[in-house]
């Protein structure tokens, strides 16, 4: 319920932030995986 309240308070801005977080999560996960592989070797 709280999520709906936040999204409906300012839909364009909140949805943009959600999209940007989702788009950034891929490269961040890739970089974290590369760091783990280098530390294992």
pLDDT at res. 41:
64
* Residue span of the structural domain in which 20 resides: 2-40
Residue 12's alpha-carbon distances to 19, 20, 24, 26, 38, in angstroms, are 11, 12, 18, 22, 40
Over residues 1-41, the pLDDT tens digits come to 898 998 899 999 999 999 999 999 999 999 999 998 887 76
* Residue 7 CB coordination number (10 Å): 13
- Could you report how far apart the first and last alpha carbons of the chain are, in Å? 46
Number of domains in the chain: 1
pLDDT at res. 38:
81
Is residue 20 a contact partner of residue 12, using CB atoms and an 8 Å limit? no
Q: What is the distance of C-alpha 7 from the center of its chain? A: 16
pLDDT at res. 15:
93
């Amino acid at each position: 319920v709280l999520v709906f309240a936040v999204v409906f308070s300012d839909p364009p801005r909140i949805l943009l932030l959600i999209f940007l977080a989702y788009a950034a999560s891929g490269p961040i996960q890739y970089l974290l995986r590369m760091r783990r592989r280098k530390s294992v070797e």
